């Protein structure tokens, strides 16, 4: 459950990043708006519950396998989860709501809307980077 969830979460985030980079390069504002809308949907309805499942399954393994909570790669997992959870709650979610309002009031092609979309996609890219870092630490288990 933990690894399948992580694959879905990180793989989904990377796919969205690739699609956003493609739309950015093509300078296609409609496509950018579509990707932002889809990212908001999967972020809230798929990545958030799957991320919670990854956390719970991880906690379950730590307890079942009697792993020390101070183990460096466990701490990295917990810190990584906390960072991505707080980024979603405090940054991505309010930004996505603002973009929704901008799309309705000013339209998808308005410079303000496009600027906000580019900003949210940049934060999402950093977020995926954090997840990739956690995967690397979980797999390689350095400093143990």
Compute how many other C-beta atoms are within 10 angstroms of the C-beta atom of residue 97: 11
Q: Is 57 exposed, middle or buried (0-12, 13-18, 19+ CB in 10 A)?
A: middle
> For every residue of 15-40, which 3-state class applies, written as one string?
HHHHHHHHHHHCCCHHHHHHHHHHHH
Q: Which is nearer to ligand HEM, 61 or 89 (CB)?
A: 61
CB of 131 to ligand HEM, least distance (A): 5
Q: How many C-alpha atoms does 72 have within 13 Å on its Cβ side?
A: 8
Q: Which is nearer to ligand HEM, 81 or 99 (CB)?
A: 81
CB of 54 to ligand HEM, least distance (A): 5
Q: Which is nearer to ligand HEM, 74 or 103 (CB)?
A: 74
Q: Which is nearer to ligand HEM, 10 or 48 (CB)?
A: 10
Q: Which residues bind ligand HEM (CB under 6 A)?
A: 2-3, 6, 10, 54-55, 58-59, 61-62, 67, 74, 77-78, 80-81, 131, 134-135, 138-139
31's tokens: 């496509």
Compute how many other C-beta atoms are within 10 angstroms of the C-beta atom of residue 131: 22
């Amino acid at each position: 459950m933990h690894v399948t969830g992580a694959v879905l979460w990180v793989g989904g985030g990377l796919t969205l990043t690739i699609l956003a980079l493609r739309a950015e390069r093509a300078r296609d504002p409609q496509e950018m708006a579509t990707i932002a809308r889809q990212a908001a949907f999967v972020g809230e309805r798929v990545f958030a519950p799957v991320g919670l499942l990854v956390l719970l399954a991880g906690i379950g393994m730590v307890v079942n396998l009697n792993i020390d909570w101070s183990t460096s790669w466990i701490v990295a997992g917990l810190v990584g989860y906390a960072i991505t959870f707080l980024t979603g709650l405090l940054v991505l979610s309010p930004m996505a709501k603002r973009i929704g309002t901008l799309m309705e009031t000013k339209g998808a092609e308005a410079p303000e809307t496009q600027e906000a979309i580019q900003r949210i996609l940049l934060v999402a890219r950093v977020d995926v980077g954090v997840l990739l870092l956690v995967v690397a630490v979980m797999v390689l288990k350095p400093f143990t």
